[in-house]
Amino acid sequence: MYDLIIVGAGAAGLSAGLYGVRYKLRTLVIGEVIGGKGMEAHLVENYPGFLSISGSELMRKFREQAEEFGAKILRGKVVEVRKEKGNFTVRTLDDESFESKAIILAMGSERRRLNIPGEDKLLGKGVSYCATCDGPLFKGKKVAVIGGSDAAVKSALILSEHAKEVHIIYRREKLRAEPLLTEKVLSIPKVKVVYNRVPVRVEGKEKVEALVLKPFKGEGKEEEFPVDGVFIEIGDVPSTSIAKELGVKLDEEGYVEVNPKTMETNVKGVYAAGDITNVTKFKQFITAASQGALAAYSAYLFLKGGKK
């Protein structure tokens, strides 16, 4: 029996793991990807203490520090968390079960999909959600990035190292990424921005051949835009299926509702941290890590019988 099981092993989960063991809790962190979505970050230049570090390296350091102090970190896909007689049972896809007295939900978020025809069919055939991963496969090709946020612009920057042409397709009139990033991407001749357009479908038989676009505002015909790759960067949705089944309350946008002072949810003994919560729209390594620390502290107070 563990004192604390943390579901999710990204910045929030690993930080909670570190704080859990620092409070002498028997702590298990289970996650599908150790390091979580932070692994995809090309360069992190806003995590204090590191001038510039890759997401995977930063997450490796998080993991090493938590393990150094005694957290057990396990790779696995959690399919269910059940509450029985005050304790929790966590079950994985491989049918392993673990028990604990408290839970921290830190499953983060998953990529928001466009939900347009062709997107699913051509996933892995030119449609991608990870420029860091798949960029090198598009050497000399023409690619599109859908979105106008930091993530979209960062993807365009990565892709410009490999592709022949990079087209950012954005529905608004101006990119909304950090000014520094925007300036950088707009200075690269092979990167072009197509404003006021949204994708309607992805076309291709065996692989992506074109995107079909239409104006976001105003009237206008659909037009075909030939590309070899489509990178979708339109934000994230919280991964809350386990939380829902456990009876955890979500807000109207689907994020886990927590008390921001304690990170506790409506279910006694269940806390949440990181991108999955409704605390802030500002999804950063540092905000996830701080929520993880706070959730672990609250779980500790709960377990020792103090105030939650």
Partner 1 sequence: MRKKVLIQIITSPTCPYCPLAVEMAERVSKALDVDFEEVSVATQKGLELARKHGIMGVPAILINGKLAFEGVPPSDLYLARAVKKEMENV
User: By the criterion CB under 8 A, which residues form the site for partner 1?
Assistant: 33-35, 39-40, 42, 55-56, 75-77, 92-94, 123-126, 128, 130, 132-139, 158, 206-208, 229
For partner 1, the closer CB: 102 or 107: 107
Q: What is the 3-state secondary structure (H, E, C) of the chain?
A: CEEEEEECCCHHHHHHHHHHHHCCCCEEEEECCCCHHHHHCCCECCCCCCCCECHHHHHHHHHHHHHHCCCEEEECCEEEEEEECCEEEEEECCCCEEEEEEEEECCCEEECCCCCCCCCCCECCCEECCHHHHHHHHCCCEEEEECCCHHHHHHHHHHHCCCCEEEEECCCCCCCCCHHHHHHHHCCCCEEEECCEEEEEEECCCCCCEEEEEECCCCCCCEEEECCEEEECCCEEECCHHHHHCCCCECCCCCECCCCCCCECCCCCEEECHHHECCCCCCCHHHHHHHHHHHHHHHHHHHCCCCC
Give least dist CB 111 to partner 1, A: 13
- Taking the complex as a whole, the smallest distance from the CB of residue 162 to partner 1 amounts, in Å, to 10
Whose Cβ is closer to partner 1: residue 34's or residue 263's? 34
Residue 23 beta carbon to partner 1: minimum distance, rounded to whole angstroms: 29
Q: In this complex, which beta carbon is closest to partner 1, that of residue 158 or of residue 169?
A: 158
- Smallest distance from partner 1 to CB 234, Å: 18
Distance in Å, CB of 157 to partner 1, minimum: 12
Pick between residue 33 and residue 186 the one whose CB is nearest to partner 1: 33
Nearer to partner 1, 129 or 300 (CB): 129
